Structure 1
């Protein structure tokens, strides 16, 4: 039902208008899900259940956050959210963009595709920001879209402050990184990389090695166990990156 309603809504409401009206539409939709069993870490809405989509996990009916969004915000709120920090966020979910805008921080969101709410359209391989500019950079589900990913990693390293933090995540597979730049059609990319606009699938060790070679000190954090209250995905992996000393 949720997928059908989403498809219908996207078919007749222009994207900019949809972004503007989405909070009100979701609020109305979420009323049937209100309860006390669960709580969204982003919008703080208490729910009797999540919207369950197999390929995206559990979605908050009120703000539209995915499991990875809620986990990310909990991680940020508990460890990195300080007043007056400078933040750069690549292709943020709409729920996180709206949450960030309410914080006492300098927040820049960028999205080259135009599919997300953003303030800028930066090419991640040539970021128009000064060296050592940001206290926190969020790069979630971006690098798997970028052919020149090493260039992107070096740019992220360049603009991160010496004591700053980069939080990164991509889809992962076992074994080695799988990439083949001769695969260019959407149909073939979907078949090989599980999404039409992906150019590779990383392995955890493969991504760690590329980030280390780009100058980062890499901590791979895996969240084990189920958390039904917050609707988190089990065994989710987040890369926490610092500049090598």
Structure 2
């Protein structure tokens, strides 16, 4: 199964994968039903999760029911326990909306919820993140998760997110990050897709962020909390929810 998932991820475009996943999900839920691991997003439990990864696949990380990964489940738990996202009225903008969240956020009566992306079939507004069609100071929450590593001019993208965020409001800007690196690495001269996947983690990533990512966000004007929310969970809870221990949630405020 691991090899099959790798072939699928590297063969089909993401919009097609999104549509296919909705068809496959009922079969995955039935075949993997169990009690070992639990997806906190929907509360369903399984004997194992699925593998995921474009180059180096991670075992037991993709939830069969919500199709969430470690970062999605961690963010859900953080929003639920540490914010008013689910309880108060908020105007929300969601870049490249993840399937794990899309319908759930859309169905929350307290949210004025808008999605945006250039290519996603789930986007309400087709837009370039570096030139957004939204007014200044509009949103209470902005989610832009695992997007900036695809954007050549990430500085401009960050500036646009800052512009449309309300003063005092929250933007959560998750990225794949190597916390062993002090400095972010990018090299446009590497053009071979396999080599880019090996170095950057995915063939269409343009950089691998280091610890300096947080300071770059601060240079844009954000106040940044580097939240290690997994530190509040026991080892057994981290394993049960299939979280990545030590993953940092960049919680940015204007």
TM-score, length of structure 1 as denominator length = 0.85
| Aligned counterpart, 1:77 | 80
Gaps of at least 5 residues in structure 1 are: none
Q: CA deviation at 1:43?
A: 2.4
1: distance between equivalents of 2:28 and 2:198? 34
| Aligned counterpart, 1:210 | 216
- Which among 233, 247, 250 is matched to residue 236 of structure 1? 247
Contact in 1 for aligned 2:6/2:57 (Cα 8 Å): no
Matched, 1:154 2:159: yes
RMSD (Å), alpha carbons = 2.8
Q: CA deviation at 1:165?
A: 0.5
| Aligned counterpart, 1:35 | 34
1: distance between equivalents of 2:11 and 2:197? 23
| Aligned counterpart, 1:164 | 169
Identify the structure with the greater strand proportion.
1
Contact in 1 for aligned 2:39/2:73 (Cα 8 Å): yes
Gaps of at least 5 residues in structure 2 are: none
| Aligned counterpart, 1:125 | 130
Three-state SS of the structure 2 residue aligned to 1:74 is helix
Q: CA deviation at 1:175?
A: 2.2
Give the direction of change, closer, same or farther, for the CA distance of 1:184–1:20 in structure 2 (3 Å limit): closer
Q: CA deviation at 1:110?
A: 1.7
Matched, 1:92 2:97: yes
TM-score, length of structure 2 as denominator length = 0.82
